[in-house]
Structure 1
Amino acid sequence: MRAQLIGFAPDLDPETPGILTDCDAIIPTTTGLAAANSLVATQYPALGDPANSAFIAELLDGTRRVFVANGPRIDEAIGGAWVDRSRAGGYTGNNRSRFAVLGNIVLACNRSEVIGQAVPGGAFTDIAGSPAASIIVPAAGFIMALNVSEAQYGDAPDGWHCSGIRNQTIWTASAANQCAYGRLLDSPGAIKAGAALGSDVVAYKDKSMYLGRYVGPSLVWQWDRVPGDIGCSGNESVVVVGTQHFFVGPSDFYVYDGTVPRPLGGATFNANATPVREWFFANLNQQYRERIVGVADIPRDLIYWYYPSTASSGELDSCLVYNFRTNQYGKHAIGIETALLYSSGQITYDGLGALYATYDDLPNIAYDSTFWLSDTVAPAVIQGGVLKTITGEPGPSWLVTGDIGDMDSYVFANRLKPRFRVTPASAQMTNFYRDDLGLAKTQDATVPMQRVRFDFRRAARWHSFRMDFPGRMAINGFSLAINGETAE
């Protein structure tokens, strides 16, 4: 018999053809599944304190600035060193900093201090009269501040305040400059997330959403509540891909394109059911769910959601990987501090000698990787204070298939032949068996791969298989010899 692998789906019946019931360091691709890339340290030294946010800002001339915040300070990555770009006096508290770009100006907020701005090559300075905001979003020529506190209007976790049009320094409301203020009162709670959707802004509370649209004077911005009781508890869990928001809601994963939010389905599954939903929320540390961080890998059609598991004390120690083309999932047990998109555009051939003493010191990244192209960005993380890209050669990975068999008859199986897209240098397989899907599995033999197949012998009603790979690998299915058949 043959099976087409369709990704990690622990919520489904284990006999669903092609699912994985467990895996690690496995990502879904457009042609199947593959071993996840490893992390590669950049040339930047370790930061002094754990990072709580990071951001890449693209300026009008195409150059990029990379910032990392750790609470009391903000650093910029420049030429292999971290340069302090904090406002005078630093930052109080340990709130997560968030960033936005308007033209060539980079802005930062953390709800403890007023919004700051940094001109090209400069540090952040306070914008007089601006609010302290939890979130800032550039849209339609404005900077939209969400969840605000200010002397003029008071503390308003449900409030919004837009700057003057095309002027991030104007925060006094008037018809002439179209600076405006308001509150979202149709549903309870604070604004927890916000992101642009084209020229619109979407504001998320825990269990509600609002679509803000620029309508000009005198209303300036019109906010309409999106139907339903769907929201988002953390700003960084919203990942913008083109004209869509992918986000983690209170009890499901959603995509929103300006109409109504829709649950993410799975490949060949009911569009209203997510094959990882129950598993994910059972394994998520709900106390720290606002810390979820998402980042997109657009060239590979992937979204990485890093989250704190129930084994964590709030640290991001796990990752769910979603392919938005195939609606398939993978996962990875990995600990990080935060995630971002990172540009290697500052690295040139002429400048390699200043960053790496010898060719042996270069990071373990393929020479044809898009990492080396100055006009591209790659997903990256801060791990142990070090900026690392998700571009390295894959390390160890493994996957566990669903159950194959018959509830009434014994099935004799003796050969498993993977259908690789990229064949690994070696691999091993462990088969498991049971006589009823409600029973615990019994582990059988572990065998090495020989001639791109695994030979074993076992009769049982149900069989499943764990395959372990040491490095680069891509697979989209397998053949299993049962009851005297031959695996092709």
Structure 2
Amino acid sequence: MRAQLVGFAPDLDPETPGILTDCDAIIPTTQGLSAANSLVDANLPALASPATSAFIALLLDGTKRVLVADGPRIEEASSGAWVDRSRVGGYSGTNRMRWAVFGNNVLAANRTEVIGQAVPGSGFTDIATSPAASIIVTAAGFVMALNVNQAQYGDAPDGWHCSGIRNQATWTAAAATQCAYGRLLDSPGAIKAGAALGSDVVAYKDTSMYLGRYVGPPLVWQWDRVPGDIGCSGNESVVVVGTQQFFIGPSDFYVYDGTVPRPIGGATFNSTATPVREWFFANLNQQYRERIFGVADIPRDLVYWYYPSTASSGELDSCLIYNFRTNQWGRQAVGVQAALLYSSGQITYDGLGGLYATYDDLPDIAYDSSFWLADSQAPAVIQDGVLKTITGEPGPSWLVTGDFGDMASYSMLKRVVPRYIVSPASATGTNFYRASLGESRVQDFTVDMARGRFDFRRSARWHSYRLDFPGRMSINGLDMELTGATPE
């Protein structure tokens, strides 16, 4: 019997061919499933306080600024250290810092203070006339502030306010500057998220969405409600990939391209249903769902969503991984504080000596990794206050298959041969069996891989397997020797 492995799909019938019912540190690739990369220290000291958000700003001349909000400060990575770039007096409140780039200006907002701006090489200063905003987005030559509070217009969680055109410092509504203000009142609740979609802006409430489009004076921006009762509760759960936004809604995962939001991840299984939906929302700590943090790994076609599980008290302790090319899923148990795209462009051959004393001190990253390319960006996280890239050699991983067999008859399992794309240095395999899919699986033998295979001997109606790997590995299927047998 041959099975093509098609990823983590715990919601489906366990006899669905090729699914994984559980796994850890497994990512879906265009060729199959691989062990997840480990985290590598980016050679920066630990932050003084836990990070709440992080951002990489790409400026007009191609230079990049890596910024992190940690408590009352904004800090920038510079020459192997963190430099305080905070506004005078620091920051207060408990809201996440949100970021945007407008020309060469980096903007920051946390809905407690007014929007701040930083020109290249300097710290943040207040834009005195701007609103306090929960979310800021740049599109069509404007800065768009969402969920705003300003003395002139009052506190408006459902409000939007755009700057003057091509001027991030103009915030007084006027036809001449096209600065404008309004509210999204067609559905209840506050604006929870926002992101640019080309020159448009998408605003999300908990169970509704709006598409904003620049139309010029006198309306300036026109907002149309997207049909349906779909929204999202956290700004960082919206991940922009090209002309699409991937996001976590109230009860499913969606992609939006300016038409209608569509559930994702079901095409592989000839279904429109996302095969991790029920499992995810049962394992998500709903009280802290607004803390979900997403980041894209464009070269590998992946979206990582870090989320608080029911085992956490609000900390991001788990990750669900989606491949938007193959519509397949993986997962990993990992704790982080924030996620971002990180650029290693500041590392050059001439500067290696200032970062690492010897070649043995270099991080455990493959020489052909995009991490070493000057213009590349790699997904990264902040873990325990330390910035780490997701580029290291893979560590331990494991997967559990669905069930193979027949309800009407027993079969004898003799052998499992993985079809590796990249063979691991070693592996162990454990077989499980049961007489009915409604019963609990019974653990049987654990054996070491020998000659690229696992040898078992078990008669049962249903068989499944757990495979454990110590490091680098890529697999796309299993060949199993199942023969007829009499019941035990």
CA distance in 2, matches of 1:52, 1:122: 21
CA distance in 2, matches of 1:356, 1:125: 35
Is 1:416 matched up with 2:416?
yes
Structure 1 residue 94 displacement after superposition: 2.2
Q: What is the aligned partner in structure 2 of residue 145 from structure 1?
A: 145
SS in 2 for 1:268: helix
Q: What is the aligned partner in structure 2 of residue 223 from structure 1?
A: 223
Letter in 1 for 2:69: A
Q: What is the aligned partner in structure 2 of residue 388 from structure 1?
A: 388
Contact 1:87/1:123 (8 A) holds in 2 = yes
Q: What is the aligned partner in structure 2 of residue 370 from structure 1?
A: 370
Is 1:192 matched up with 2:192?
yes
CA distance in 2, matches of 1:431, 1:219: 65
Structure 1 residue 450 displacement after superposition: 0.3
Contact 2:254/2:261 (8 A) holds in 1 = yes
Q: What is the aligned partner in structure 1 of residue 56 from structure 2?
A: 56
Is 1:454 matched up with 2:454?
yes
SS in 1 for 2:228: coil
Letter in 1 for 2:148: V
Structure 1 residue 265 displacement after superposition: 2.9
Deviation per CA, 1:355-393: give whole Å up to 9, x if none: 111111111111111101111100000001000000000
Structure 1 residue 267 displacement after superposition: 4.3
Q: What is the aligned partner in structure 2 of residue 302 from structure 1?
A: 302
Q: What is the aligned partner in structure 2 of residue 432 from structure 1?
A: 432
Deviation per CA, 1:198-245: give whole Å up to 9, x if none: 000000000000000000011000000000000000000000000000
Contact 1:320/1:330 (8 A) holds in 2 = yes
Is 1:167 matched up with 2:173?
no
SS in 2 for 1:333: strand
CA distance in 2, matches of 1:265, 1:400: 19
TM-score if structure 2 supplies the norm length? Answer: 0.99
Residues 290 and 186 of structure 1, relative CA distance in 2, 3 Å threshold:
same
SS in 1 for 2:22: strand
Contact 1:6/1:267 (8 A) holds in 2 = no
Over the aligned positions, Cα root-mean-square deviation in angstroms equals 0.9
SS in 2 for 1:420: strand
SS in 2 for 1:334: strand
Deviation per CA, 1:412-448: give whole Å up to 9, x if none: 1100000000000000000000000000111000000
CA distance in 1, matches of 2:29, 2:371: 19
Structure 1 residue 408 displacement after superposition: 1.1
Letter in 1 for 2:44: Y
Contact 2:410/2:484 (8 A) holds in 1 = no
Matches within 5 A, 1:44-443: 44-443=44-443
Contact 1:7/1:28 (8 A) holds in 2 = yes
Contact 1:399/1:467 (8 A) holds in 2 = yes
Structure 1 residue 43 displacement after superposition: 1.0
| Structure 1, unaligned runs of 5 or more | none
SS in 2 for 1:135: strand
CA distance in 2, matches of 1:72, 1:445: 54
Letter in 2 for 1:157: P
Contact 1:71/1:95 (8 A) holds in 2 = no
CA distance in 2, matches of 1:253, 1:482: 37
| Structure 2, unaligned runs of 5 or more | none
SS in 2 for 1:114: coil
SS in 1 for 2:236: helix
Letter in 2 for 1:440: S
Contact 1:415/1:453 (8 A) holds in 2 = yes
Structure 1 residue 95 displacement after superposition: 1.5
Contact 2:52/2:69 (8 A) holds in 1 = yes
Letter in 1 for 2:31: T
Letter in 2 for 1:348: T
Contact 1:100/1:106 (8 A) holds in 2 = yes
SS in 2 for 1:353: helix
Q: Any runs of at least 4 consecutive aligned residues in structure 1 with deviations exceeding 2 A, and if so which?
A: 265-272
CA distance in 2, matches of 1:298, 1:457: 43
Structure 1 residue 70 displacement after superposition: 1.4
Q: What is the aligned partner in structure 1 of residue 470 from structure 2?
A: 470
Moved more, 390-399 or 259-268: 259-268
SS in 2 for 1:148: strand
Contact 1:72/1:94 (8 A) holds in 2 = no
Letter in 2 for 1:392: G
Q: What is the aligned partner in structure 1 of residue 32 from structure 2?
A: 32
Contact 2:433/2:443 (8 A) holds in 1 = yes
Contact 1:71/1:96 (8 A) holds in 2 = no
